[in-house]
């Protein structure tokens, strides 16, 4: 059973497994440094569909199908699915997964959705509420631009602090303890708002939430950055990553080379025009469900803190001059389970 430690963190004593995982991306992501680790790379950003929104649904469907295939499972073996995306009413998830016939929880955590969905799926398995659950999310550059910014035809210039929405999806099948990666802890974030209003600087808006969640997790678990091989945020980009380091320094924690960010890993900022890095639900999801999980599975990484961050705004709130609140959820993934189930 799960054990609450401290105020914010839950220890998963039986250490559920990511039984399988899969990632689906498009052409730009396939031109980046993580290309060898993705399961599917599609040169057509429409994924054969008539609209970008349908393309995003197709990515989720393909990611889940691939993850199930790798685990030799079918949708009938899945008890619950936890999914969400950036679009209004999470239509990428609901339309993409409606044919599976699996009990569905629609989630909205903005770019933190992969950590949110993975946390809930793991807690359900840990609490014996189910045997197998799926966590999945996605984003699409074109659908996000249409909803949150301008029509692509507008051709507006980008600020140096802006980030490029990843066209991608990641899915993980969570089940009873069988093999790494294992889920050892989850730490649920709180909404943090530092008054940032610049929609072109998501990193600054989300960094305080990442700092709050990490410092609380370290306090609850009586650990620090040196206890982990990697502290992986997503998707703070260059600006938010620097700010996170500064904020944690004030709390007495030095991340140093232990820290990396999904938004900085998925693209080559020297050769790809992505300004401060990548963003979107699909950014952290596709990086986690490819390179990171493969590295944990192979033992190249032993303990990873996956801290996905989200900006909890909408087009309406921005137009009304509201600030941008952020949130960050943490999942501790490991190549080894808790010893003796404790």
pLDDT digits (tens, 9 = 90+) for 101-139: 999 999 999 999 999 999 999 999 999 999 999 999 999
C-alpha to C-alpha distance for 50 and 235, rounded to whole angstroms = 29
Q: Taking the alpha carbons of 21, 166, 148, 201 in that order, is the dihedral positive or negative?
A: positive
- What integer pLDDT is reported at residue 59 of this predicted model? 95
What integer is the mean pLDDT of 180-193? 98
What integer is the mean pLDDT of 265-276? 92
- What integer pLDDT is reported at residue 175 of this predicted model? 98
- 187 beta partners: 9, 330
DSSP string, 61-126: HHHHHHHHHHTT--GGG-SEEEEE-SSGGGHHHHHHHTTS---EEEE--GGGHHHHHHHHHHHHHH
Residue 150's pLDDT band (boundaries 50, 70, 90)? low
Q: Which two tokens stand for residue 35?
A: 């290309």
- What integer pLDDT is reported at residue 160 of this predicted model? 75
* C-beta neighbour count of 229 within 10 angstroms: 16
Phi/psi at 237 (nearest 5 deg)?
65, -170
Q: SS3 helix, strand, coil % of the chain, rounded to 5? A: 40, 25, 35
- The separation between CA 94 and the C-alpha centre of its own chain, rounded to angstroms, equals 18
Q: How many domains does the chain have?
A: 1
What does pLDDT average to over the chain? Answer: 94
What integer is the mean pLDDT of 83-112? 95
pTM greater than the 0.85 cutoff: yes
What integer is the mean pLDDT of 272-298? 95
Which among 137, 37, 42, 52 has a CA at the least distance from the CA of 97?
A: 137
Q: Which two tokens stand for residue 265?
A: 């890993």
Residue 275's pLDDT band (boundaries 50, 70, 90)? confident
Q: Tokens 């790379």 map to which residue?
A: 41
Residue 156's pLDDT band (boundaries 50, 70, 90)? low
Q: Is residue 158's pLDDT more than 80?
A: no
Strands (E), 148-201: 164-165, 168-175, 182-187
Distances (CA, A) of 69 to 1, 40, 195: 29, 13, 45
Q: What is the DSSP letter of 318?
A: H
What integer is the mean pLDDT of 135-154? 77
- What integer pLDDT is reported at residue 342 of this predicted model? 43
C-alpha to C-alpha distance for 309 and 282, rounded to whole angstroms = 12
Which among 332, 340, 334 has a CA at the least distance from the CA of 118?
A: 332
For position 232, which CATH number holds? 3.40.47.40
Residue 1's pLDDT band (boundaries 50, 70, 90)? confident
What integer is the mean pLDDT of 275-301? 96
DSSP string, 209-266: HHHHHHHHHHHHHT--GGG-SEEEEES-HHHHHHHHHHHHHHTT---GGGEEEHHHHS
Residue 203's pLDDT band (boundaries 50, 70, 90)? very high
Distances (CA, A) of 106 to 97, 109, 174: 10, 10, 17
- What integer pLDDT is reported at residue 302 of this predicted model? 98
Which among 224, 242, 192, 213 has a CA at the least distance from the CA of 306?
A: 213
Residue range(s) defining the domain that contains residue 273? 1-342
Q: Is residue 153's pLDDT more than 60?
A: no
Q: Is residue 323's pLDDT more than 90?
A: yes
**pLDDT tens, position by position, 7-42:** 999 999 999 999 999 999 999 999 999 999 999 999
Q: Which residue has the higher pLDDT, 273 or 122?
A: 122
With a CB cutoff of 8 Å and minimum separation 6, the contacts of 271 are none
- What integer pLDDT is reported at residue 171 of this predicted model? 98
What torsion, rounded to 10 degrees, do the Cα atoms 112, 116, 118, 124 define?
180
C-alpha to C-alpha distance for 52 and 54, rounded to whole angstroms = 5
Q: Which residue has the higher pLDDT, 319 or 238?
A: 238
| Core vs surface per residue 146-165: b (16+ CB within 10 A) or e | bebbeeeeeeeeeeebbbbb
What integer is the mean pLDDT of 253-261? 97
């Amino acid at each position: 059973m799960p054990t609450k430690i401290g105020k914010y963190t839950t220890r998963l004593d039986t250490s559920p497994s990511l039984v399988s995982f899969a990632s689906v991306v498009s052409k730009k992501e396939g031109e980046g440094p993580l290309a060898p680790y993705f399961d599917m790379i599609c040169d057509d950003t429409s994924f054969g569909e008539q609209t970008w929104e349908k393309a995003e649904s197709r990515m989720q469907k393909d990611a889940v199908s691939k993850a199930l295939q790798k685990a030799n499972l079918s949708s009938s073996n899945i008890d619950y699915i936890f999914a969400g995306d950036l679009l209004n009413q999470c239509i990428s998830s609901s339309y993409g997964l409606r044919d599976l016939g699996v009990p569905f929880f629609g989630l909205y955590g903005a770019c933190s959705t992969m950590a949110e969905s993975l946390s809930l799926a793991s807690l359900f398995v840990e609490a014996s509420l189910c045997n197998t659950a799926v966590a999945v999310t996605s984003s699409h550059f074109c659908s996000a631009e249409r909803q949150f910014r301008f029509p692509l035809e507008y051709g507006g210039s980008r600020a140096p602090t802006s980030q490029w929405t990843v066209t991608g999806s990641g899915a993980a099948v969570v089940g009873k303890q069988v093999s790494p990666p294992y889920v050892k802890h989850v730490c649920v974030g709180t909404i943090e708002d530092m008054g940032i209003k610049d929609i072109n600087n998501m990193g600054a808006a989300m960094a305080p939430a990442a700092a709050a969640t990490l410092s609380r997790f370290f306090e609850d678990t009586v650990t620090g950055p040196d206890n982990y091989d990697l502290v992986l945020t997503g998707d703070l980009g260059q600006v938010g990553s620097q700010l996170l380091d500064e904020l944690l320094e004030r709390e007495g924690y030095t991340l140093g080379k232990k820290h990396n960010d999904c938004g900085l890993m998925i693209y080559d900022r020297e050769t790809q025009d992505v300004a401060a890095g990548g963003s979107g639900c699909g950014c952290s999801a596709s990086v986690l469900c490819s390179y990171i999980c493969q590295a944990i599975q192979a033992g190249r990484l032993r303990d990873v803190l996956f801290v996905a961050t989200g900006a909890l705004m909408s087009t309406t709130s921005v137009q009304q001059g509201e600030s941008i609140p952020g949130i960050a959820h943490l999942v501790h993934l490991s190549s080894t389970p808790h010893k003796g189930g404790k």
